[in-house]
Amino acid sequence: MFVRRLLGALLVSTLAMPVIADNTLVLPEKTKLLVLDGKDADHLGSKKDLSLGNGRHQLVFQLKTLVRDGGDTKMFTTSPYIMTFDLSGDQAYTINAPRLKTARDTDKLSQSPKAQFSITNAKGQAIPFEFSVLNKSGLLIGGDTVEDIQKFNLSDSPAAVRAMAGTVYIANPQGVSYQVAQPSRPSVMPAPATAQPMSESMLQYWYNQADETTRERFLQWISDSNKTGK
């Protein structure tokens, strides 16, 4: 009986869900992408156009370019910037960054970084976003930054996304570390036979967090269980 009720609830949830769309996000030139949605983005290399689904996203990146300083030319690398925003509608979006040619340009960026960026859609309409800066310097790699952004995502910053915090160890004032765990996407949906019963609302939550392939496997498992009466 529970399996039948669960199958019905999940089918209703599936029908009520919007069609998953792919949005294209174009990054600025001279961008080093460090973290994408809480995960190391080094595997993306120098890719400047990302395919992202609808919903909340978070990017951590740096700008690296040569600038003129008086009669000299030097390499300038920003601190890691955090941008958090929502995408929808299967559209093309662009992150617009300032042109950095001189030391005056970099000073202006350092003084008010958020004001120098924008996100626009294909129609040129501005998309709201949250912005913050990680207090790190030098050219970084994604693996160096993932733990920092996970801790950041436990903060009260408007750019933080608690669902992307993962599992983080934090030291309390007594010096004892404790674990803060956040929901993560399961690789296998069926719970072990020894697990405690889970509410329908929680099962629906995990179902909605899974990708399309995992959902199909889960629905097949429910259908098979229903046929066998398990």
Amino acid letter for position 27: L
CA dist 166 and 202 (Å) reads 18
CA nearest neighbour of 15 among 224, 220, 215, 222: 215
Q: Write out pLDDT tens, residues 115-147.
A: 999 999 999 999 999 999 998 766 565 566 898
CA dist 102 → 20, 51, 62, 64, 65 (Å): 43, 33, 17, 13, 10
CA dist 140 and 136 (Å) reads 9
Q: Write out pLDDT tens, residues 179-214.
A: 444 444 443 444 444 444 555 656 666 666 666 777
Count of all residues that appear for the chain in the document: 230
Choose between 15 and 138: higher pLDDT. Answer: 138
Which range has highest mean pLDDT (19-23, 55-59, 66-70, 163-167)?
A: 55-59
- pLDDT band per the 50, 70, 90 thresholds, residue 24: very high
Q: What per-residue confidence (pLDDT) applies to 203?
A: 67
Q: What per-residue confidence (pLDDT) applies to 177?
A: 44
